[in-house]
A and B are shown apart, each in its own frame.
Chain A
Amino acid sequence: MSTKINIRSPYFLAYTEPSIPTPVFDCFIANPRNFTINQQGIITLPSLDYGVITAQNADKYATVSSPTSRTLAITIQIPVGFSNTDTDGFIACNVTATQPAFVNGTTCTTTVTTSGSVPAQTITVGGSSVTINLASYFTGGTIAGYNIINEHKNLVTTSLSTSTLTLTSNQIGGTKTVYAEAFDNTANTCTAVQSIAVTVNGLSTAFNCTIANLAGGGGSVSQAGVITNPQSIAAITGISLTSGGALITSVAANTGSTAQNVTLFFKLTAPAGYTNAGAVIYCSKVFEQQATNTLPAFTCDIANLTGQAITTKGAINVGTTQTGTITDFTPISFASVTTSTERTVTYTVLIPSGYSNTGNGSQTISCAKTLTQPAGLADCGTNTYYISAGKVSPTDFCDDTYTTTKTLLSTGVTINEGLGGTSCIKGAPFAGKDLYYAVSTSSINSGAGIGVGTFKVWQIDNNGVITDVSIVSCDTGGGGSVSNL
């Protein structure tokens, strides 16, 4: 939608210091990386550039006999400073890694094994601790140490001293699993893993909707009626339109002309540790559901193309968008220019969902962007020559015989007419470092130096400009004579 202006009255454009944009926090910005799974199926959560992982859909996978691709769904709390920090709160991202095969005797040799199982641990909330002697639960081999895998540090913290694991509760209740992995330093030996169920209880309060904090947990209802659950420390086991009502998975699409509020009741199970652990409570949250025509239209301003550029050769850097995906751009490239030149590139941006013009998901908009193409050199020319290695002085060629084998294009129609012309190698200006290069029209039966007779040299600067053309003749004694052309 364009902005209409009326030009019989003044129209003012006002510019002020630009503010640093607050981008939409997404998985690309979070950049989860280094997600790994070991042979035992134990995951190492990915590290993030921004945000904090608050939940994942697995802590450990079963062992596999052949390498298996695993996709872990993680929930990331959006940090402050992004445009969707307050509106969404959390985003979901998937990370993928290949779980290596675990085949005893093939992929590793079993020395250490588990011995029984570690009993479930219950700790009182608020800093209480319990210790476990891990040596009692592993046997065989020579145990060199233990790794503790705890992806629930908000519930319980762990510390390890030799073989003594200390579990310390924090300020929330609940039940989660941590893992202890024993390893043998012998090469290619298998590790052994014990799971430890930890329950933190003893809270004096009952779990309620204030603690559930759905208000700060994000979530949404799309125009089409798709529900995205908010985050909570309690498990959401259902959704209804009334407290205790029939469970639903979606709501009706809003086909009206205005946005509407939709109140949803989330069925939560009070986590362990609270006085009402295991009880079902319903907590409501109001979502604004946009109508088709109240959805904002996706525009180039929303797309916010950044990072686009044109190189001196006219190649176009596609850049990125803040929202949407660039699927195409035109033209593909520009010719080199001798002066800085403004160019217009039209980018085709795929409209993401959630906009009035999203359509069936294949709709695009065209965003024109004016870019400045830096000045390059003039045309490289089409005349092919062959040059030698560079020398500081023309007579430096007279200490040996040199071949002219490096292909070079120049605007000089002849070698003698090369002065002031440009020279390029592989389409780019040849950075000649102000050295002299023997130049020939042939790479065979040509050359420079002793025994060649007279030969021609070009001095070429770093911009590929030929600054001197000379003819050289080498004496038998290692010296030479130079005549400028």
Chain B
Amino acid sequence: MSIKTAALNLYIYEGTQSSYIASDLKYRIQKERINSDTKINFEIAELVRDYIDHTFNDDYVSKCVWVLAYTTLFDENNEPYTYSNPQSNTYLALDGYGYFEEGINPELSRDALISSNDVYLPEGITGKLPIFAEGVGKVIIDSTTTQITDNGNTNQKIQYLTIPSNSSTVKVYATDDATILKTITISNICEPKFTPYKITFVNKFGVYQDLFAFKKSVENLNVTDERYKRNIIVNNTTSYPTYSGQSERYNVNGNTSINLNTGFVSEDMNQTIEELFLSENVWIRYEGKTLPVIPKTKTLQFKTSVNDRLANYTIDFEFAFNKINSVR
């Protein structure tokens, strides 16, 4: 007998897969099949996304949630099916995205959660490598092996491995500890002149990825204000002080922006730059603080070794707050 109705209970929670409780039920959705269709579809990504909040403070915390879709199916008589019903499916949701070409419901990488095979770090500085713990058995950084364990908790599903300073190669292995899934080359950049800035952004896989801008940086201040004309006449003396302005400013504030240059990077970094441009969450490590920024640059011309020989990307960022504290 054809399906008529599907009643979806969507539980969203952190912790281990089976640790949900009644209060984790976030949505109840009931949908009827359109007569000409054979399936009932629910789009849940937007619903789940409300429950991942990126609060990055240079702490690299695993941000993902379990999603339990508990669906009861009813037949044309509005009776629940007596077999294969209800249907319970659990997913691990990350704030990532797929490209159009990757089709519907992309799962993406289940090992190293960065696209490029190159990482640029300043000399003497450690880095972070995000991995999906379920799909990785071990990681060898140069000759040091790190076994990856996963206790099933969401706070361990995404792990940020520390890349020791001046490392050269990272090899990510499958859970069989034998199959190499990704090899990442670490370039340690000596930059004696400029101050490298670390940009951290939520990449395509929904995890925090670092990108260093090694070269020239320019900081700008863009001020906004409003004005009004005031009457400065003193009636008693029928005069006005010349030290009082006829025009006054108010609502003065400013936005700081910073122009950064990556320095010469390989063509392989195009994907990383693209993901930075497409990120909704970007931070800069600036004067000892992690500050939110918004990429101002809206267009990106990909550089290739054939066309450009050497690729340097210049990106403008605007600090995501007013210069004068106006937080109320």
Give chain A's interface residues, CB within 8 Å of chain B: 1-21, 257, 292-293, 341-342, 344, 346, 366-370
> Which among B9, B75, B110 is the interface contact of A4 at CB below 8 angstroms?
B110
Q: A15-B3, A21-B84, A344-B20 are in contact. Are A7 and B42 (CB under 8 A)?
A: no
Q: Smallest distance from the beta carbon of B85 to chain A beta carbons, Å? A: 5
Flag if B94 contacts A5 (CB, 8 Å). yes
Bound: A17/B4 CA distance, A: 9
- Complex Cα spacing A14 to B66, Å: 19
- The answer to whether B206 and A6 touch across the interface, beta carbons within 8 angstroms, is yes
Q: How far is the CB of A328 from chain B (nearest CB, A)?
A: 13
Which positions 115-135 of chain B face chain A at CB distance < 8 Å?
A: 132, 134
Per a CB cutoff under 8 Å, which of A7, A18, A293, A366 touches B96?
Answer: A7
7 A-B interface contacts by CB (under 8 A): A3-B91, A3-B92, A6-B97, A13-B44, A20-B83, A21-B83, A257-B176
Q: Which residues of B contact A5 (CB under 8 A)?
A: 45, 48, 67, 91-94, 105, 107
**B233 within 8 Å of A by Cβ?**
no
Not counting A2-B90, A9-B106, A16-B40, a sample of 16 additional A-B residue pairs whose C-beta atoms are within 8 angstroms of each other reads A2-B66, A2-B92, A4-B94, A4-B110, A5-B48, A7-B49, A7-B94, A10-B104, A15-B39, A15-B87, A18-B3, A18-B81, A21-B83, A21-B84, A370-B86, A370-B88
A293 vs B173: C-alpha distance when bound (angstroms): 13
The distance from the CB of B294 to the nearest CB of chain A, in whole angstroms, is 17
Q: In the complex, what residues of A have CB within 8 A of residue B105's CB? A: 5, 11-12
Q: Does B36 contact A (CB under 8 A)?
A: no
Q: Would B40 and A15 count as touching, CB distance under 8 A?
A: yes
Rounded to whole angstroms, the CA-CA distance of A16 and B179 in the bound complex is 38
Residues of B within 8 A of A257 (CB): 176, 178-179
Query: Is the CB–CB distance between A8 and B45 below 8 Å?
Result: yes
- On whether A9 and B98 interact (CB within 8 A), knowing A2-B17, A344-B21, A368-B17, the answer reads yes
Whole-angstrom CA separation of A447 from B46 in the bound complex? 68
Cβ 8 A contact of B83, one of A9, A18, A367: A18
Interchain CB contact under 8 A, A9 and B97:
yes
Q: Is B73 an interface residue (CB 8 A)?
A: yes
Q: Bound state CA distance, A7 and B206, in angstroms?
A: 9
B205 within 8 A of partner (CB):
yes
Known: A13-B44, A15-B6, A344-B22. A8 touches B206 (CB 8 A): yes
Q: Are A13 and B104 in contact (CB under 8 A)?
A: no
Q: Which of A1, A10, A16, A366 contacts B18 (CB 8 A)?
A: A366
**B residues at A contact (CB < 8 Å):** 1-3, 6, 8-9, 17-18, 20-22, 25, 38-46, 48-49, 52, 66-71, 73, 75, 81, 83-98, 104-108, 110, 132, 134, 157, 175-176, 178-179, 205-206
Number of A-B contacts (CB under 8 A): 150
In the complex, what distance in Å separates the CA atom of A147 from the CA atom of B85? 49
Determine the distance from Cα of A8 to Cα of B134 in the docked complex, in whole angstroms: 21
**Known: A257-B179, A344-B20. Is A370-B70 also a contact (CB below 8 A)?**
yes
Please determine whether B2 and A6 come into contact, CB atoms closer than 8 angstroms. no
Q: Are A17 and B89 in contact (CB under 8 A)?
A: no
Check A6–B88 contact: CB distance below 8 A.
Answer: no
A346–B19 CA distance with the chains assembled, in angstroms: 9
A6 touches B107 (CB 8 A): yes
Smallest beta-carbon distance B56→chain A, Å: 16
Contact residues in A for B17 (Cβ distance below 8 Å)? 2, 368
Q: Which chain B positions have C-beta within 8 A of A15? A: 3, 6, 39-42, 71, 73, 87
Interface pair B43/A12, CB less than 8 Å apart: yes
CB pair B45–A10 under 8 Å, yes or no, is: yes
- Chain B positions within 8 Å of A344 at CB level: 18, 20-22
Which residues on A sit within 8 Å (CB–CB) of B178? Answer: 257
Q: How far does the alpha carbon of A342 sit from the alpha carbon of B87 in the complex, in Å?
A: 14
Most chain B CB inside 10 Å of its own CB: which residue of A2, A4, A9: A4
Q: How distant is A239 from chain B, measured CB to nearest CB, in Å?
A: 29
> Which residues of B have CB within 8 Å of A369?
88
B45–A9 CB distance below 8 A: yes
> How many angstroms between the C-alpha atoms of A368 and B97 in the bound complex?
29
Which residues of B have CB within 8 Å of A11? 43-45, 48, 91, 93, 105
Which residues of chain A are within 8 angstroms of B83 by Cβ–Cβ distance? 18, 20-21
Q: In the complex, A370→B88 CA distance in Å?
A: 8
Contact B87 A4, beta carbon cutoff 8 Å? no
- CB-CB under 8 A for A342 and B108, given A5-B94, A6-B94, A20-B83: no
In the complex where A5-B107, A16-B38 touch, is A10 in contact with B20 (Cβ < 8 A)?
no
Give chain B nearest CB distance to A67 CB in angstroms. 43
* CA–CA, A19 and B81, complex, Å: 10
Give chain A nearest CB distance to B279 CB in angstroms. 10
Nearest CB of B to A425, in Å: 31
How far does the alpha carbon of A292 sit from the alpha carbon of B176 in the complex, in Å? 9
Which of B20, B67, B87, B132 is most buried by chain A, counting CB atoms within 10 A of its CB?
Answer: B67
A328 to B182, CA, bound (A): 41
Which residues from chain A contact B48 at a C-beta distance below 8 Å? 5, 7, 11
